[in-house]
Structure 1
């Protein structure tokens, strides 16, 4: 993983600069595996995010905002009891391991000084956060419990003695010289990068590949020199926070990644790098867990409608051939005097043929000539009705597919708090059953919460990320002279620029937001329509979020995630 011992050291160095001797004023646990500590230090509030998420475990300062659950989890309540109001006196790293200890000084019930350790183990799926009493070395509680039945060597339960993860007996890369490095290498065994991972603590495969790459195709001497050069930068806290990206993957590091050929972006701080890299990723993971049933339902419904259209198109094609039945009926009517009765077919002059040819018309021998003609007319009328109904059903099915595509797109950009609104809408539309209540009295309907942005010239921009928010924004919140934006013929969000006076730059920034929250998020030169709110209408009986508009103009933008995040941060 990218969050190795070097990244841990860089984060601790940054936290020491901002948090040492700061007071823990608030503790939140917005999600099961995430903690958010607000720390007052140097006359400023700082937020420290600690995550034991199996896929996104990390620790960093953050400016992101998180919803607080209605009821705090037990672990959060225990942390509030023991360390809220305490001071962070020390931030320690266990060698070059991904284990961080916050030494927090507070007061116990009788006013005596009490030291607690908040131990953060950043180890992928084994990540954990533990509160340990310094005097007794007992675990007060932890984010994850590990009973003896799972691990006899290391039991993690309240009241048990804290035992760290098993030692790997690797060398500390910051405490070795050239000879030490050379002794660990065997150039005849190949895979030097793996040898470095196995020999030194805190190094990820990504870091060791960079060491080998910088050494080129040279000898072990060159590898040792490359190793010591990078470790010296780490020792001196000389970091290069960056995200390097190829076409299909992103990598982050505090070491310049010259071995990755692709795009690279440098950041001013380690925490800014981690915030940017993980922005949306952990949230998307939570949304997938919460909404996997909805996404599966929507995609299945879309596929059903696709098959339905194919069947309807066949019906329409068959119905379009029904003009032949009308033709037969009219020719029979004109030639009734030629039919004696009992014939299975009759040949008549085709008056519709420019060359004056003849045509064979099949007959039912048990029917009179007039009944045969009427049978063709009934067949024609039935096909005509079927044609009209088929075309109308195709139109309705296509509209439903567009609606489903819109909901799928909204799920892809939804936050965990948006899922309930989308689920409620699907219940109202009859796609899912309404979840049974818990016996509580129904609360007053809650107004949808809109995303707010501030453009570079200070203009407020509002965004609806699902249909309930879109309708609330467009029909209730926006003023008739506000400017409304939406991607042209592409499922996406409603975006509104508040006020009548704004710059061209604000228009382009709002269009960028509209393109970013659309199905064309990863496309270039996305068309975005804009018009006044007074020109936007919702047709009677239309699906939620569907509107028509007129007097629009169009701009073309390429979605820029960095710009959207910058404008979102500006709202604070």
Structure 2
């Protein structure tokens, strides 16, 4: 289901259970439209994600690792000044809409007690996050400033008075009786029930309306069935639904579905949303941050493939260079047969039993000049072969390099994008921004733990791979890489890992490669001390021998079980 008003109702109940009454200890803004409040409650830190993303707006407790920018954005700095150390008093939903208010008790500049609210509107591309002073409803700041030209209904700038979006004249299902449902069931055919539910009650997505229609249609008292269905939003059983085509959706409880689905259950809504969004939201974040890098890589791949094709044509032509010498010899032997204006000439080829050979000639030149043209092309092709071989080798290395970068961008998390950008700057493919005086910092490899507790690290880009494989690791630790295709470097922090750990590390190597969707993926492994880096080679490139090979089939669920949280 989309994150509608009903799911928001369930999420507010869960957030009140875990974080209400806690202290906001840290404020982060890892992505442009998203804030993470670290709330400490009963000795536990809860990372509370408030997202105003245009496609994935939501509020949840998240355990997905994130990397903060080196310089905090202005909105994050403003929230830190106003919220860090403050108590999160309560969380409320506005009616049954996709709007929640997080009320915070704090003090103003004079030390007087005041109540602020973080108001999250989850409205698709109109999503926004506000910090509002409650006594006068003044907007202190907001994550997206919107000019009056873009929104004439209400003012969305700091200093303006906060007003709710225009309300819909619909019924809140949690605050009224369900008698209109009985009328819908009596007056309309079943096919129209979902749309009638949406046009009558507030906060229903199409999936929720379809599920309620199924509950109404089930055996027994329809209104009793509807009440039981609504009670599911207070008695949660977070469920991830997957249909026969692999499409996933989520529900706050194990509700009826109009299609056959498999079901996976979670302890909390936060864990459910992490499982649902871990691929989708991360991919969107990477695409936003890496759009220019993806274009650069595609252009370089296209350019080098075209260059390789031309070099191969030249090489093919140079393999037949002797035919140009033969034609030159024949023309210089029989120059009188060529007259200006001729397009071609037939001459007996004394190199081939005097068989007639047709030779194309330049109509502007005589026989001797045409012979010299063929000799010139022959000499050029003969001398070009060594150069073309060298250029082909370099071009193939460039193709392999950008194939590797493309594969890394496919599995990158947002924190990896900065490393890939830094690498391309260092290699001269991207211009360095002089205005950024901070020294770039390479992010840490992803960390995992095998079933027997052994640490496994996975490099997600070439700078991480370089440090992980050649500089950081104990040289007797086991190194793994998927065989003969682009992928991540993996290090097992053990000299003699168990067979289970070795298999699990091989699954990580296969998953973080271009073969993540394949079965029986070959993965090479050997001690890291046997790796060698050729002089002048690209970052992350190594050679080795004496490896052994495992065959594994990577699975997302197995990878996530091994992942170590960084928070």
In 1, the alpha carbon distance for the partners of 2:349 and 2:40 equals 99
Is contact 2:212–2:229 with CA below 8 Å preserved after alignment?
A: yes
Q: Which residue of 2 aligns with 1:413?
A: 411
Is contact 2:237–2:265 with CA below 8 Å preserved after alignment?
A: no
Q: Secondary structure at 2:457's aligned position in 1?
A: strand
Give the TM-score normalised by structure 1: 0.85
Shift of 1:266: 2.1
In 1, the alpha carbon distance for the partners of 2:158 and 2:444 equals 39
The counterpart of 2:236, out of the listed 238, 251, 260, is: 238
Q: CA RMSD in A?
A: 3.4
Shift of 1:268: 1.9
Q: Which residue of 1 aligns with 2:508?
A: 513
Q: Which residue of 1 aligns with 2:340?
A: none
In 1, the alpha carbon distance for the partners of 2:33 and 2:230 equals 32
Q: Equivalent residues in 2 for 1:25-424 (5 A)? A: 25-109=25-109, 111-146=111-146, 148-177=148-177, 179-184=179-184, 186-187=187-188, 191-213=192-214, 227-234=226-233, 236-245=234-243, 247=245, 249-256=247-254, 258-322=257-321, 345-346=347-348, 348=350, 359-360=355-356, 382-424=380-422
Deviations 1:366-386 (A, max 9, x none): 66xxx98x9999866654544
Q: Which runs of 5+ in 1 are unaligned?
A: 351-356
Is contact 1:528–1:555 with CA below 8 Å preserved after alignment?
A: yes
Q: Which residue of 1 aligns with 2:427?
A: 429
1:13/1:348 CA distance change after superposition, 3 Å? same
Is contact 2:412–2:460 with CA below 8 Å preserved after alignment?
A: yes
2:528 counterpart of 1:529: no
1:520/1:162 CA distance change after superposition, 3 Å? same
Shift of 1:432: 2.7
Shift of 1:72: 3.5
Choose 550-559 or 408-417, whichever is displaced more: 408-417
2:487 counterpart of 1:492: yes
In 2, the alpha carbon distance for the partners of 1:108 and 1:315 equals 75
Shift of 1:349: 8.0
In 2, the alpha carbon distance for the partners of 1:51 and 1:124 equals 11
Deviations 1:63-104 (A, max 9, x none): 233333344334333333333322223221222212212222
Is contact 2:241–2:261 with CA below 8 Å preserved after alignment?
A: no
Q: How many residues align?
A: 551
Choose 184-193 or 31-40, whichever is displaced more: 184-193
Q: Which runs of 5+ in 2 are unaligned?
A: 338-345
Shift of 1:323: 5.2
In 2, the alpha carbon distance for the partners of 1:543 and 1:382 equals 32
Q: Secondary structure at 2:563's aligned position in 1?
A: helix
In 1, the alpha carbon distance for the partners of 2:335 and 2:83 equals 103
In 1, the alpha carbon distance for the partners of 2:74 and 2:259 equals 44
Is contact 1:10–1:239 with CA below 8 Å preserved after alignment?
A: no
Give the TM-score normalised by structure 2: 0.86
Q: Secondary structure at 2:564's aligned position in 1?
A: helix
Q: Which residue of 2 aligns with 1:354?
A: none
Is contact 1:422–1:467 with CA below 8 Å preserved after alignment?
A: yes
In 2, the alpha carbon distance for the partners of 1:240 and 1:449 equals 32
1:340/1:269 CA distance change after superposition, 3 Å? closer
In 1, the alpha carbon distance for the partners of 2:82 and 2:318 equals 77
In 2, the alpha carbon distance for the partners of 1:466 and 1:192 equals 51
Q: Secondary structure at 2:481's aligned position in 1?
A: strand
